[in-house]
């Protein structure tokens, strides 16, 4: 528990440094982090899906768990869905159920990687009937968007090849553009299409949408409502993700984020657990983009989503922990003394520039987050509050083997 005296002292120290604490608090209160329905369900590694007791048995129970995360954190009012993992007979009912729980449905994600027909790809498959099947699944998701009130279609394609010569890369590239153009035309008015990329897995030789540049290229051809989605786990080791974020922001083409963390590949671990400094640097670019009139509009419209797979962790605690870690990184990014940084950069003072950034990263923001939560009528420590509540006991009644994937 952080005392009122600690909070007061923290605010004074920051105000003395010239940090606009009220503005910082307001930005933190307005942060919206969408949680993924699949993050509440059982999912696994390539080797095993471990079953947990108390996991949701249907999309409605996933929403209930998401509502619990929102109740405790106050910043997760939306839930992304994945079709057919979240297939229901009546999507309007799913929407009203979400609304009753104080939630809305966020991004709709078509699943183009678990149907046996997609073994050689979906929209880039060499056979026309399979490409058509993939497109019609995406168009069905566009219809679902209308029923659930979603304004984001989130696309990730597992398309690619495992061996050189397996298929004709340029032909596949054209198939991708044909499919995306058809889908773009069908988008509901005011809806956006987010195009995610990943350089490997499940394909191991080439992936049809391997990096941000490929997504960006399609987005440019499609139009304003097509933007790039950055998933933190989808880059080669050593890739400078903050640089990608800065570039896409400056081009007005950064549309969405999948937060997670990784050590080796697309590990889908809890956000900020392996490399909190990288997370901070990403948030720093995002906040810097919000402060720049040239990029503010794009920065303010980015959809922040968590995309994780909790295979050994308890699902709801893992989600709460991730939300808190994102808030922590954003809070630190909001403390960067931007005027001082700009001055140091203009003077070419390398050491001072780096130190200004690091100073914000090393600031303990727990008193700030405690204050923000207090003002929002939330528990200071959402995870502790969850663990002490009746909810973890109540969900045990669901038993084992909730369906997720
Ligand atoms: C692919 C991915 C994509 C999927 C999700 C389940 O690795 O990041 O966003 O929809 O995982
Ligand atoms: Mn993702
Ligand atoms: Mn992924």
**How many CB atoms are closer than 10 A to CB 296?**
13
**How many CB atoms are closer than 10 A to CB 71?**
18
The string of pLDDT tens digits covering residues 274-318 is: 999 999 999 999 999 999 999 999 999 999 999 999 999 999 999
| Nearest one of 192, 116, 100 to 158, comparing CA atoms | 116
Beta bridge pairs of residue 81 = 108
Tell me the residue length of the chain: 405
| Nearest one of 201, 129, 194, 195 to 161, comparing CA atoms | 201
The string of pLDDT tens digits covering residues 129-188 is: 999 999 999 999 999 999 999 999 999 999 999 999 999 999 999 999 999 999 999 999
What ipTM did this prediction achieve? 0.99
What pLDDT does residue 47 have?
87
What pLDDT does residue 402 have?
63
Q: 196 in ligand 1 pocket by Cβ < 6 Å? A: yes
What pLDDT does residue 46 have?
80
Query: Burial of 251 by CB count in 10 Å (0-12 exposed, 13-18 middle, 19+ buried)?
Result: middle
What pLDDT does residue 59 have?
97
The string of pLDDT tens digits covering residues 1-25 is: 999 999 999 999 999 999 999 999 9
| Nearest one of 111, 203, 209 to 153, comparing CA atoms | 111
Query: Burial of 105 by CB count in 10 Å (0-12 exposed, 13-18 middle, 19+ buried)?
Result: buried
Helices 241-250/212-222 angle, 10° precision? 10
Domains of the chain with CATH codes: 31-336 (3.20.20.150)
Nearest ligand 1 atom, CA 201: 7
* Phi, psi values for residue 276, rounded to 5°: -65, -25
81 CB-near residues (< 8 Å, 6+ apart): 37, 59, 94, 105, 106, 107, 108, 109, 148, 150
The string of pLDDT tens digits covering residues 50-109 is: 999 999 999 999 999 999 999 999 999 999 999 999 999 999 999 999 999 999 999 999
Q: With 60 as the cut, is the pLDDT of residue 404 above it? A: no
What pLDDT does residue 45 have?
80
What pLDDT does residue 379 have?
98
- 3-state SS assignment for residue 118: helix
Cα 139–Cα 142–Cα 143 angle in degrees, nearest 5: 95
DSSP 201-220: SS-SSEETT-SHHHHHHHHH
Beta bridge pairs of residue 109 = 82
What pLDDT does residue 227 have?
99
Q: Is the peptide bond before 202 cis (omega within 30 degrees of 0)?
A: yes
C-alpha dihedral, 257 to 261 to 264 to 266, nearest 10° = -40
| Nearest one of 181, 275, 196 to 229, comparing CA atoms | 196
pLDDT band at 48 (very low <50, low <70, confident <90, very high): confident
Q: 268 in ligand 1 pocket by Cβ < 6 Å? A: no
What pLDDT does residue 405 have?
54
**Can you give the pTM of this predicted structure?**
0.97
Sign of CA dihedral 69, 70, 76, 81: positive
Q: How far is CA 303 from CA 186, 229, 340, in A?
A: 21, 9, 29
Q: 307 in ligand 1 pocket by Cβ < 6 Å? A: yes
296 CB-near residues (< 8 Å, 6+ apart): 289, 290
Q: How far is CA 373 from CA 11, 70, 81, 382, in A?
A: 15, 12, 27, 9
Tell me the C-alpha distance between 195 and 266, whole Å: 17
What's the mean per-residue pLDDT of the chain?
97
Q: Nearest residue CA, atom 9 of ligand 1?
A: 156
Question: Which ligand minimizes its atom distance to the CA of 257?
Answer: 2
DSSP, res 194:
E
Residue 185 and residue 221 in contact, taking contact as beta carbons nearer than 8 Å: no
Mean pLDDT of 221-247: 98
What pLDDT does residue 403 have?
58
| Nearest one of 96, 181, 174 to 139, comparing CA atoms | 181
- The two most distant CA atoms of the chain are separated, in Å, by 68
Q: 156 in ligand 1 pocket by Cβ < 6 Å? A: yes
Q: 266 in ligand 1 pocket by Cβ < 6 Å? A: yes
Q: With 60 as the cut, is the pLDDT of residue 241 above it? A: yes
Q: With 90 as the cut, is the pLDDT of residue 116 above it? A: yes
Q: 258 in ligand 1 pocket by Cβ < 6 Å? A: yes
Q: Strand 206-207 to strand 160-161: parallel, antiparallel, or no bridges (unpaired)?
A: antiparallel
Q: Nearest residue CA, atom 6 of ligand 1?
A: 307
- CA gyration radius for the chain? 21
Question: Which ligand minimizes its atom distance to the CA of 201?
Answer: 1
pLDDT band at 44 (very low <50, low <70, confident <90, very high): confident
Helices 350-361/338-346 angle, 10° precision? 160
What pLDDT does residue 237 have?
97
């Amino acid at each position: 528990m952080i005392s009122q005296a600690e909070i007061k002292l923290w605010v004074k120290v920051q105000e003395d440094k010239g940090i606009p604490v009220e503005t910082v608090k307001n930005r933190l209160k307005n942060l919206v982090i969408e949680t993924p329905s699949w993050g509440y369900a059982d999912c696994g590694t390539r080797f095993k899906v471990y079953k947990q007791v108390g996991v949701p048995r249907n999309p409605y129970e996933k929403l209930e768990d998401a509502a619990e995360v929102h109740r405790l954190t106050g910043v997760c009012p939306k839930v992304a869905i994945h079709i057919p993992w979240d297939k229901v007979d009546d999507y309007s009912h799913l929407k009203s159920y979400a609304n009753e729980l104080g939630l809305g449905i966020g991004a709709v994600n078509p699943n183009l990687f678990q149907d046996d027909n997609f073994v050689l790809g979906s929209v880039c498959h060499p056979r026309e009937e399979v490409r058509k099947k993939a497109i019609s699944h995406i168009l069905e998701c566009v219809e679902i968007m209308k029923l659930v009130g979603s304004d984001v279609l989130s696309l990730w394609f597992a398309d690619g090849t495992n061996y050189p010569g397996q298929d004709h890369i340029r032909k596949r590239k054209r198939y991708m553009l044909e499919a995306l153009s058809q889908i773009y035309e069908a988008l509901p008015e005011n809806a956006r299409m987010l195009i995610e990329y990943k350089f490997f897995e499940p394909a191991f030789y080439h992936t049809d949408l391997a990096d941000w540049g490929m997504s960006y290229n399609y987005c440019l051809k499609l139009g304003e409502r097509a933007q790039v989605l950055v998933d933190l786990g989808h880059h080669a080791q050593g890739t400078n993700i903050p640089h990608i974020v800065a570039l896409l922001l400056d081009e007005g083409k950064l549309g969405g984020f999948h937060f997670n963390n990784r050590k080796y590949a697309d590990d889908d671990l809890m956000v900020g657990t392996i490399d909190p400094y990288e997370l901070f640097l990403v948030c720093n670019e995002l906040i810097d983009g919000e402060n720049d009139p040239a990029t503010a509009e794009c920065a303010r419209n980015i959809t922040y989503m968590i995309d994780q797979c909790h295979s050994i962790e308890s699902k709801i605690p893992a989600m709460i922990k991730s939300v808190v870690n994102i808030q922590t990184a954003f809070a630190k990014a909001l403390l960067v003394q931007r005027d001082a940084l700009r001055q140091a950069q203009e003077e070419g003072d390398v050491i001072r520039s780096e130190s200004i950034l690091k100073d914000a990263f090393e600031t303990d923001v727990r008193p700030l987050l405690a204050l923000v939560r207090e003002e929002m009528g939330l528990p200071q420590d959402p995870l502790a509050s969850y663990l002490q509540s009746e909810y973890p006991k109540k969900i045990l009644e669901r038993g084992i083997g909730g369906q997720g994937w």
